[in-house]
Structure formats: structure tokens, C-alpha cells
Amino acid sequence: MSKAKILITRKWPASVEAELMKHYDVQCNDSDVAMTVDELRAALGEYDAILPTVTDNMGAAVFDTDTIRTKAICNYGVGFSHIDIPAAQAAGITVTNTPDVLSECTADIAMTLMLMVARRAGEGEREVRAGAWSGWRPTHLIGKKASNKKVGIVGFGRIGQEFARRAHFGFNCEIFVQNRSQVAQDKLDQVNATQVPDLETLFQTCDVISLHCPGGDANRHLINADIMAHSKPGLILINTARGEVVDEVALAQTLHDGTIGGAGLDVFEGEPNIMSDTLNAPNIVMLPHLGSATDETRVEMGMRAMENLNAIMSGKAPRDPVT
């Protein structure tokens, strides 16, 4: 019996690729460049399963074809806003993701950004590299303590809860949560958190706000000029969720005019392209989408995607269905 044909759209950890090749006829995108809409559309007619990443734009146009062989799209990542789920469903394709395995590492990056912005570490590192540091002095690059702050979390899922644990138990921060649904009291109690009714309250209350909500059209520009206008003076905004959640034009303006005190971004709207206003904004730290970028997590993500693939190819229900 011939093996099912599988497409991996970007380079994956070698150990995961090797494991997939034991069981499937695997085609790897060795160029490691994001595939075009036309290429992805053609792949639907050629492969039994496609294993994409967040960089693959699988919008409605990809599914606009009469020739679809693909039965499974096993996404490498927890977010799936880059996939048109209704279009995939209409085409009879099962979509899965990889939750759980990247929660801790993404929360670590959010905490890294919080500390870097609060202590102006990005500015300091650039100054040292440029040879512009003139030595210690009492008023040089004065930042803010990270401890004992009021920390707001937008989206209290797995990653948001991991970030709350780090902020509460590691830095004695008071946790406030804004979530689209009521959070179970026992989950709030684990970090002594308070759920607030709306974003305006959260922005008025907190010294730091970290975004952990889903992306996609439902949350596009959820954080906009009107919301940021309600900010507590000196607010630090952290985004490790999805770039489109924040209106970057408004964010850059609020940083330039001092409406908020700083920002830490691991994701961007239209990444890898970043607006010049964002690049030039004061007290901003920017990372190249490193949330899950550890050896352990990237391998676990691949293995979780393969677990879902194996189930679907065996006619069983996958562990992590999106559709």
C-alpha cells in the first residue's frame, strides 16, 4: 500500500521531519520561504495532508478550487487565524492545531518583554553595542520596577494563565483579567486574580497589560486608539498574541506622544514587514516572533501535529480538532 502524501510547508525540526518520513511520503519546502496562495491551492489537489504554519496564508482563495485531495490540515502552532476555517470545512478538510505545548515558552517571552520594557533593556543594549555608553551615572536609563505591579491579562487561556503565574508568584504582581467569557473562579483563585468587565477598566487599572487572546477578524485592532486613550499613565503593553490584535499605527502614535509608557512586541501586523513609525517609536522592544522558539517546544509542536495527522489518517478523531 502506498504511503499518504504529506506536504510540510516550512522547515521543521529535523527529528520531527525524520519521524514523519518513516510513515508518510513527505515533501518538504526546503527553501523555507512562505508558499504563495497559488502554490497552496495547487497543493490541495496533490497531497493527502498539508502541515502549515502561521506564515502560510490559507485564506478563502486557497480553497477556491474544484480539485481537492487534502483531507487534513494539521497546523504547526496553536493559532489558526491564517486558515479560513469555514472554507476548509466546506471542502471537507479537518483542521487541527497544537495547543498546550507552547504555553510556557510563550509566557516566558511575554515576561521577557515585560522586564525589558520596564528596565529599558533594549535601549541599553543598543547603546552598549553602538559604543555610546559613557559609564554609570545616577540618572541614566531610569526604568520601572517590575515587582508589585498591577498586571492585566487579555485572554485567560493556557498562555495567559502561565503568564499570570509568573507575574504573581515570581514578581508579587496583582492580576486582573479581561476575558470574553466568565473565567472559572478556581482558575482565578490560583493566582488571586480579579476579572474585570471590559478593556477600558483594565487599561485604567493596570501598570502592565499582556495580550494572550486569539487573532483573526474578531479581534482585529481590539487594542486601538480609543482603548489606549484610557490607559493608566506609564502603562506597558505586551503583545505575544497576534499582530492584528493591536492597531500598530495607533500604538506608534501613543508611544510617540507618551499616552502609554512602553511596549514589547513579539508579533506584528503584516510581519515580517514592520512600519517605520513602529521601528522608530520610543521605549519599544521588538522580537522576531520567538514565543515558542525553544528546542523542546518546537519539537513538541511537531510531534503534536503528527499525532493529530496519525489519528486522521487512521480514521480516528484527532486530539486537537479546530473543525
What integer pLDDT is reported at residue 1 of this predicted model?
A: 60
- 196 falls in which pLDDT band (50, 70, 90)? very high
**Measured between alpha carbons, how far is 177 from 124 in angstroms, rounded to an integer?**
31
- The predicted-structure confidence for 267-295, as pLDDT tens digits, reads as follows 999 899 999 999 999 999 999 999 999 99
Contact 82, 57 (CB under 8 A): yes
Domains and CATH numbers, the chain: 5-101+295-313 (3.40.50.720), 103-286 (3.40.50.720)
CB neighbour list of residue 196: distance below 8 Å, 6 or more residues apart: 152, 176, 177, 178, 202, 205
**Measured between alpha carbons, how far is 283 from 262 in angstroms, rounded to an integer?**
5
- Chain centroid offset of residue 177 CA: 18
This prediction has a pTM of 0.94
Count the residues in the chain. 323
What mean pLDDT comes out for the span 209-237?
A: 96
Q: For residue 256, indicate whether it is catalytic.
A: no
Q: For residue 271, indicate whether it is catalytic.
A: yes
Contact 213, 154 (CB under 8 A): yes
Q: For residue 82, indicate whether it is catalytic.
A: no
What mean pLDDT comes out for the span 33-40?
A: 96
What integer pLDDT is reported at residue 323 of this predicted model?
A: 83
**Measured between alpha carbons, how far is 237 from 281 in angstroms, rounded to an integer?**
13
Q: Which helix (H) or strand (E) holds 237?
A: strand 236-239
For residue 192, the tally of other CB atoms under 10 A from its CB is 12
- The predicted-structure confidence for 149-167, as pLDDT tens digits, reads as follows 999 999 999 999 999 999 9
- Residue tagged active-site, from 242, 244, 269, 300: 242
Strand partners, 284: 263
- 2 falls in which pLDDT band (50, 70, 90)? confident
DSSP codes joined into one string, 201-267: HHHHH-SEEEE----SGGGTTSB-HHHHTTPPTT-EEEE-S-GGGB-HHHHHHHHHHTSSSEEEES-
What mean pLDDT comes out for the span 91-118?
A: 97
- Chain centroid offset of residue 74 CA: 17
What mean pLDDT comes out for the span 58-77?
A: 97
Q: What are phi and psi of 127, to 5 degrees?
A: -65, -45
Cell of 306: 503528527
What mean pLDDT comes out for the span 257-265?
A: 96
Environment class of residue 54 by beta-carbon count within 10 Å: exposed (0-12), middle (13-18) or buried (19+)? buried
- Residue tagged active-site, from 39, 127, 271, 307: 271
Angle (CA) 115-222-298 rounded to 5° is 55
- Residue tagged active-site, from 119, 220, 221, 289: 289
